[in-house]
Structure 1
Amino acid sequence: MDYLSKELVKKYLEFHTSLSKDSLKYYKAGLNAFMKYFPDENKSWENLTVEDAIFFYRSYNVSKNTKIRRLNDVNRFYNWAMKQKYLVENPIETFVTTLRPEKKERAYLTEKQFKILLSNVKDFNYYTYTLFLLKTGVRISEFVNLKVKQVDFENGIIFIHAGKGAKDRYVFMDVELASRLEYYLEMRILTNLSCNNFFVNKHGRKLAEDQITKYTDYLNEVMDGSISFRITPHILRHTFATAMLEKGMDLKSLSLILGHEDIKTTSQYLHKNKEALQKEYLKAMAR
């Protein structure tokens, strides 16, 4: 990638500083990976062709959905560059809009699995994190950035200042979660009074990315390979959403709690686990 192309990527990222650090890191990595894939060092955004995009799609050795995400990132970049008058055309848009990702059912923990998970988590802080994520369904960035003042114990509500251009919203606490958070806060205040973040590390500071990775690794260790997929904070969000729907919450209410702009996003959680399907099958056969 030539110097001007690198500068254009830099301007693009600077323009989107309202996005989370993780999103910016992902966009940068995606754009750079796309351009580095071509051996011609003089390749630039101006001389890229639809044939280049097709070559990337057919030969890049990753999953189909990953390739499509990369190309969608590049497509968004081009549309921004055209709007800002840096480039005059988007050579790949027509091709990218024809691509359709493979639909995969979202992984989640069954009620039995998340109860086992909670019973296996012995670390005080990690248990609190897990219970919070399972009972609120917040994004990991919202969890990490949550402030003490955003938690209203009196009314059982938590104000979520959303990132990624989403709307601010409220999530809620049941008695179990509220009790745990109050106890956690009592212990947390003994660590550091100056930090405004609700969840802190053992030194009383805001949780860092490597500490979230360590927490995630811990969750998978305590389950000792009994689940076929890797447990992540996002899997806990999927688990919350699925559990709420299975307990009768309507899609519109759930979409507001999750902070989805489009209810179609929430509808992806309308899946049924094998146990529920088997139960319905046996019930029908017994009639």
Structure 2
Amino acid sequence: MQNVKSFLNSFLEYLQIEKNYSKYTIVSYTKDIEFFLAFMEAEGIETLKQVTYADTRLFLTKLHKEQYSKRSIARKISSLRSFYRYLHREQLVEQNPFALVSLPKKEQKTPRFLYEEELQQVFEVSDLTTPLGQRNQAILELMYATGIRVSECSNIQLQDLELSFQTVLINGKAKKQRYVPFGKYALHALEAYLGDGRLTLLQKGKADTKTLFLNARGGPLTNRGIRLIINKVMEQTADHIRISPHVLRHTFATHMLNHGADLRTIQELLGHENLSTTQIYTHVSKERLKSVYMDAHPRA
């Protein structure tokens, strides 16, 4: 299996250098492929060239017997399909045995989002007379205004902000950049934080930093820090309101769609590579339309 390991290392280098995949994604690919290599060894399959479509069906049977979720199975098959596609491109194998394997249909969960009345309660929690309150409000307003991911929020630098144009440069997945506009509420929250709260927090730090959002010690705020802030805000709102960074992202997309934005625009703002990922929000909109209809129509 020595050649197999070298092929795997070559593929991982390709993902890192040519595809610009994150470390987390590469680790996931590695685990999925190594899992299959262990299956090959158990089945007495010595080389990647020897794997047939029948072997892939046997592999699928093993995954089902071990009660892997549909999502895990789909990810493993997708990883192996990409691996073999690379091997075929490099002429290391003659065919891709995973090319015809059907992925199990994912269970589509309707994204959770907040109604506009619920969202208003979230924006009334922070104490705007304190540096941390100003920071928290700026985070909430900006995340709802732009629909950015928590990792994208923590990575924003001062030079990424264009307050006069009300836009922010976002460094998304796979090092892809996009400009996202934001409205007056986010603008006012950012101006208050930058002109007061951030200056106070910066004085507590040991070194100057250009990261937009700072922690209580004056250093860059991490992904985990933002999640903790949002959890704390959640505890201070009504019991039935449950928010998270991703709920804010879902809320942004749902509200945009409900107020007339087209899917292509929402796709670009969210940084989705495929429109199919964005289309899940049409289900949310339809559910809301149905709910309004049932409540309002006299003969519903």
What residue in structure 2 maps to residue 27 of structure 1? 29
Matches within 5 A, 1:241-256: 241-256=253-268
Residues 1:65 and 2:75 aligned together:
no
SS of the equivalent of 2:208 reads coil
Residues 1:162 and 2:172 aligned together:
yes
2:266 touches 2:278 (CA, 8 Å); kept in 1?
A: yes
SS of the equivalent of 2:240 reads coil
Matches within 5 A, 1:1-287: 4-17=3-16, 18-33=20-35, 35=37, 40=42, 46=48, 47-48=50-51, 49-95=55-101, 97=102, 99-120=104-125, 124=133, 125-164=135-174, 166=176, 168-186=177-195, 187-190=197-200, 191=202, 194-212=208-226, 214-215=228-229, 217-218=231-232, 221-222=235-236, 226=240, 231-270=243-282, 271-272=284-285, 276-285=289-298
1:121 touches 1:222 (CA, 8 Å); kept in 2?
A: no
SS of the equivalent of 2:42 reads coil
Sort the Cα spacing of 1:88 and 1:269 in 2 relative to 1 into closer, same or farther, 3 A: same
Q: What is the distance in 2 between the residues matched to 1:182 and 1:286?
A: 50
Sort the Cα spacing of 1:189 and 1:12 in 2 relative to 1 into closer, same or farther, 3 A: farther
Sort the Cα spacing of 1:137 and 1:209 in 2 relative to 1 into closer, same or farther, 3 A: closer
Percent of aligned pairs with the same amino acid? 23
- Mean Cα displacement is larger for which, 259-268 or 205-214? 205-214
Deviations 1:147-167 (A, max 9, x none): 21111111111122333264x
Sort the Cα spacing of 1:198 and 1:10 in 2 relative to 1 into closer, same or farther, 3 A: farther
Partner amino acid for 2:187?
A: A
1:109 touches 1:235 (CA, 8 Å); kept in 2?
A: yes
Structure 1: 5+ residue stretches without partners: none
Number of residue pairs aligned between Structure 1 and Structure 2: 282
Q: What is the distance in 1 between the residues matched to 2:8 and 2:273?
A: 27
Query: Given the two structures, how large is their TM-score scaled by the length of structure 1?
Result: 0.80
Q: What is the distance in 2 between the residues matched to 1:126 and 1:35?
A: 47
Q: What is the distance in 2 between the residues matched to 1:212 and 1:5?
A: 42
Query: Given the two structures, how large is their TM-score scaled by the length of structure 2?
Result: 0.77
- Mean Cα displacement is larger for which, 34-43 or 63-72? 34-43
1:75 touches 1:90 (CA, 8 Å); kept in 2?
A: yes
1:31 touches 1:70 (CA, 8 Å); kept in 2?
A: yes
Q: What is the distance in 1 between the residues matched to 2:159 and 2:46?
A: 48
Partner amino acid for 1:115?
A: Q
Partner amino acid for 1:117?
A: V
Shift of 1:81: 2.6
Shift of 1:75: 1.4
1:110 touches 1:273 (CA, 8 Å); kept in 2?
A: no
